[in-house]
C-alpha cells in the first residue's frame, strides 16, 4: 500500500469528489419524502447519510490540505494503458454478447485480451481461447443449464 503521506493530493481530489456525491445525495433525498421521526420516510436515511458523507469528506480534505508534499503520480509511463484496454475489451463483450452469442464472443474476448494486453504467442492464445470457451460452455450452459445468449447465429 502506498504510504499515506504520498497520496495527500489524491486524498484532496477524492475528498472533493465525495463531497459532491454527498451534496447530491442530500439534495436528492429531499425530493423523497422524509417523513417524521414517528414515521420515517424513504428519504430519511439517505439524507442522513448524505450529511455524514459531506462531513467526512470535509474532514478528509481538511486533513490533506495541511500537508503539501509532492505526491507520487497515480499513473506514470502509460501504466494506465493496460487497464484501459481491459475496460475496453470488457465493454466490447457487453455490447456484443447478445448479438453474437456466448460462444463466439467469449472466444473473441479471449483472443483479443491475450493478444493485445499480454502479447503471448499465437499458438498459446488460440489453444487457450478454444479450450477455455469449450470448458466454460460445458460448465455453465451444459452442467448448470444457465441460459446464455445465442446470438443471431443461434449457437448454443
Scanning residues 69 to 128, which ones bind another protein (CB under 8 A)? 74-75, 79-80, 82-83, 85-87, 90-91, 93-94, 97-98, 103, 106-107, 109-110, 113-114, 117-118, 120, 123-124, 126-128
Which run of H or of E encompasses 22?
Answer: helix 8-31
Among 59, 67, 108, 152, binds another protein (CB under 8 A): 59
β-strands 35-36, 39-40 pairing: antiparallel
Helical ranges in 101-142 per DSSP H: 102-112, 122-136
- Answer whether 111's CB lies under 8 Å from 125's CB: yes
Q: Does 66 bind another protein (CB under 8 A)?
A: no
Site for another protein in 20-49 (CB under 8 A): 21, 25, 28, 32-33, 35-46, 49
Q: Binders of another protein among 123-152, rule CB under 8 A?
A: 123-124, 126-128, 130-134, 136-137, 139-140, 144, 146-150
Closest distance of CB 152 from another protein, Å: 13
d(CA 7, CA 122): 40
Count of residues interacting with another protein (CB under 8 A): 83
Cα 104 from Cα 134, distance rounded (Å): 11
Amino acid at each position: 500500500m502506498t504510504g499515506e503521506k504520498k497520496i495527500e493530493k489524491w486524498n484532496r481530489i477524492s475528498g472533493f469528489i465525495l463531497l459532491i456525491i454527498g451534496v447530491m445525495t442530500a439534495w436528492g433525498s429531499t425530493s423523497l419524502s422524509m417523513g417524521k421521526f414517528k414515521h420515517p420516510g424513504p428519504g430519511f436515511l439517505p439524507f442522513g447519510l448524505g450529511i455524514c458523507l459531506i462531513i467526512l469528506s470535509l474532514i478528509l480534505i481538511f486533513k490533506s490540505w495541511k500537508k503539501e508534499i509532492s505526491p507520487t503520480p497515480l499513473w506514470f509511463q502509460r501504466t494506465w494503458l493496460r487497464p484501459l484496454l481491459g475496460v475496453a475489451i470488457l465493454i466490447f463483450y457487453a455490447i456484443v454478447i447478445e448479438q453474437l452469442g456466448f460462444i463466439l464472443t467469449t472466444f473473441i474476448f479471449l483472443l483479443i485480451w491475450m493478444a493485445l494486453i499480454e502479447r503471448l504467442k499465437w499458438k498459446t492464445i488460440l489453444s487457450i481461447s478454444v479450450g477455455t470457451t469449450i470448458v466454460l460452455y460445458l460448465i455453465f450452459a451444459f452442467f448448470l443449464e444457465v441460459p446464455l445468449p445465442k446470438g443471431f447465429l443461434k449457437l448454443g
